A and B are shown apart, each in its own frame.
Chain A
Amino acid sequence: MATAPGLVTPEAYGDTLAREQTSLWGDAWRRLRRNRLALVSTVFLVLLILVAIVAQFWTPYSYFAEGLAPVYQGPTAQHLLGVDDLGRDILSRIMLGAQVSLKVGIGTQVIVIAVGVVVGLIAGFYRGVIDTVISTVINIFYGIPDLLVALILVLLLGRSLAIIIFAIAFTQWMNMARLVRGQTLALREREFVEAARAGGAKANRIIFRHILPNALGPMIVQATIGVPQAILFEAFLSFLGLGVPPPTPSWGAMAADGFHAIRISPHIVLAPAIALSLTLMAFNFLGDGLRDALDPRQKR
C-alpha cells in the first residue's frame, strides 16, 4: 500500500488508499489456492475429466471385449488393474466409468440448478401464498424416501443414462430450491435491494442483478456438494442392477460384478470402489474449500 506523502488533501486520499483491483471472485480464488486439500482435489478432478474425455477416443482395450485374459486375473503388465469376471480390461472400463459418473454428477446438478434456482427465487421473492405452496411441495419431496422414488422412476421410465439423471435430480432439486429461497428471503430485505427499488428498478432486474449474483456463492457450494451425492446415488442404483444398462461400464455396476468373488479377486471390486471414493472425496473437499473461499466473512 502506498504511503501518504506529507500533506494530503482529502481528495487525494482516494488515490493513495486505492486497493488493488480485486473482485469477490478474485478474492475467493486467492483463498481457494491456499487450501491445499481443495487444490489437490481440483487437480484430481481436472485429471479425471481429461481421462473421461480421452476414454471417448481411446482406451487400452475395448471396454466390452471379453476374454482378454484369464477371468479374475489380477493386475499384470498388460492389464494394469487386472481383468474382471468376464475377462474384460478393468482400466479401460474405469476410464469409461468416469464418463458415466461425471455425466451423472454434472447432469443432475444442471437440472437441480435450473429447477431449484427458479423455484427458490420465485418463492423467496414473491413470498405469500406462492411461497407457502412451494415450501409445502418441497417438504413433501423431503418426506418421500428418495431411493424409492428413483427406483420407481427408473422402473417406470426405463433404464437409460438420461432417465437416471432425471430420477436423481428429481430427488435432489429441493436442496437447491430451499437454499435459494432462504438466500432470496434474506437478500430481498437488504438495503441495496430497497435502494434499487427506490431507483425504479424492475422486478426482474432486482431478481437477476441484485439477488441472484449475491446468492451465487452458496449455490456453487451446494452444487459442488450435490455432484458426489448424485454420483454415489448412480453407483448405488447400478450396484443394485438398475443403473445404466450394460455393457456401458458404471463404477457401481463394476463393483457389483466382482462382488461375488471379493475373497479370491478383490481387485475387481476395489478398483471401481477406490475410483469412486477418490472422486467423491475430491468433490467434497472442493465443496468445503469453496465454502470457505466464498464466505465473505473470511478475510484471510
Chain B
Amino acid sequence: MTAPVLQVKDLKTQFFTDDGVVQAVDGVSFDLFPGETLGIVGESGCGKSVTALSILRLIQEPGRIVEGQILFKGSDIVTMSGEEVRDIRGKDIAMIFQDPLSSLNPVLQVGYQIEEAIEAHGKVPGKEAINRAIALLKQVRIPSAESRVHDYPHQFSGGMRQRAMIAMGLANKPSILIADEPTTALDVTVQAQILELLRDLNRDLKTSIILITHNMGVVAGICTRVLVMYAGRIVEEGPVERIFKNPQHPYTWSLLQSIPRLDSDRHDRLLSIEGLPPDLIKPPRGCRFNPRCKFKIERCLRDDPPLMDVGPEQEAACWVTMRRALSPNGEPHV
C-alpha cells in the first residue's frame, strides 16, 4: 500500500478543568491513506470530535494535546509553529462542521466567505476569486451559482449551506477533508445528497476524507474503513464490510444491534446500550467499556485490553471478542 497521508500516533488530548483532567482522547493511533474515506464513529463524548480538532490544532483552552504525534506528509503538526499550522489549515487539511448555519458568518455573503477561504492562502485578484467561488459552488451542485454567490447564508436552505461549507473546504484542493457530523443537522433526503456529493468528490478529486459521525448508516454509505471510538480510545478498527458483518468488540456489536431495521419484526425490541459513557476524569479500571458490557469476563475488570488482530486488517481492543462471546461453548460471562 502507498504511504499514509496522515499518521496519528498515540494522540492524547486532555482538558484541564476545575473538576480534574478530562482524558478526552487517550492514546489514539491511526493512518489515513491517500484517497480513502475513513469513518470515525462513536457516541457523544467519545472523543471523535476532539480527535478531529486536534489534527488541526484547534483545541482551545483549557484543552491541550499532551502527547503524541500527528504526522502530515512527514512533519509533525503537534510541534509546528502557529503560523505553520495556520498555513496547513484550509489548504492541506480542511474541515467542515455539523451545523452549516452556525458555521457560516450570517453577515457576510456566501461567495465572500468562499473567496476568503481562497485568499487565506495567498493573494488572488478579486475577479478570479469570484470566478473560483462560482466554480466551487457549481462543483458542489448549487443551482444558478452566478447569482447565488451573492446570497447571504440565511437565504440558503440547510442542504445548500452544507454544500457551501464543502465548497469552502475544497477551495484550496486540500489533500484531507475532515467532516465532523456533516449530515447530522440535515433532513434525511438532504443527508443522502450530501453523502453522495462527498463520495463523488472523494472519487473525482482523490481527497482523503475523515468522516466523523455517530450514525452507522452514514459510515456504511461512503466509508472504506472505520474506527470505532469509545471513551477516548479506539476500540475497533477495520474495513467497513468486516466491521458490519463481523464486529468483534461488544461495543461495535451493540451499536450495530441498536440500528432500527426495516425488515425486523415490529414487536422486537431495539437493543439499547445500558448505562452512560464513563467519566473521563476517572475512567474505570480495566477495559473502559466493562461497566456496560454484557460479555465481560473477570480479566476485563483488571486489565486494559490493547488493540489486537481479530481478522484480516481488523483489530479490536477486547479480551473476549464477539466471536467467542456468541459461540455456544464460549467462555462464561461474569
* A interface residues with partner B (beta carbon < 8 Å): 10-15, 17-19, 21, 23-24, 127-128, 190-192, 194-202, 205, 209-210, 213-214, 216, 296
Indicate which residue in B97, B152, B157 contacts A23 across the interface (CB closer than 8 Å): B152
Indicate which residue in A21, A196, A216 contacts B105 across the interface (CB closer than 8 Å): A196
The CA-CA distance from A11 to B97 in the complex, in Å, is 23
B82-115 contact mask (Cβ, 8 Å, vs A): 1 or 0: 0000111111001111110011111110000000
Contacts of B105 in A (CB 8 A): 192, 196, 209-210, 213-214
Query: In chain B between 33 and 64, which residues have their CB closer than 8 angstroms to a CB of chain A?
Result: 56, 58, 61
Nearest-neighbour CB distance to chain A for B25, whole angstroms, equals 18
Indicate which residue in B117, B121, B143 contacts A14 across the interface (CB closer than 8 Å): B143
Contacts of A196 in B (CB 8 A): 105, 116
Q: Give the nearest-CB partner of B96 in chain A.
A: A195
Contacts of A127 in B (CB 8 A): 61
The CA-CA distance from A192 to B112 in the complex, in Å, is 14
Whether, in the assembled complex, B142 has its beta carbon less than 8 Å from a beta carbon of chain A, the answer is: yes
- The secondary structure that dominates the B interface is loop
- Residues A214 and B143 in contact in the complex (CB < 8 Å), given A194-B97, A197-B58, A198-B95: no
Nearest-neighbour CB distance to chain B for A188, whole angstroms, equals 9
Q: Give the nearest-CB partner of B112 in chain A.
A: A209
Contact in complex: B116, A209 (CB < 8 Å):
yes
Nearest-neighbour CB distance to chain B for A125, whole angstroms, equals 12
Contacts of B151 in A (CB 8 A): 18, 21
Contact in complex: A191, B103 (CB < 8 Å):
yes
Contact in complex: A202, B144 (CB < 8 Å):
no
The CA-CA distance from A15 to B160 in the complex, in Å, is 12
The CA-CA distance from A19 to B152 in the complex, in Å, is 10
The CA-CA distance from A32 to B75 in the complex, in Å, is 55
- Residues A21 and B150 in contact in the complex (CB < 8 Å), given A14-B143, A196-B105: yes
The CA-CA distance from A197 to B116 in the complex, in Å, is 11
Q: Give the nearest-CB partner of A189 in chain B.
A: B60
- Residues A13 and B157 in contact in the complex (CB < 8 Å), given A200-B88, A200-B89, A210-B105: yes
- Residues A194 and B148 in contact in the complex (CB < 8 Å), given A200-B86, A214-B107: no
Contacts of B96 in A (CB 8 A): 195
Contacts of B142 in A (CB 8 A): 14
Query: In chain B between 255 and 283, which residues have their CB closer than 8 angstroms to a CB of chain A?
Result: none
Contact in complex: A198, B56 (CB < 8 Å):
yes
Contact in complex: A19, B148 (CB < 8 Å):
no
Q: Give the nearest-CB partner of A23 in chain B.
A: B152
Contact in complex: B94, A198 (CB < 8 Å):
yes
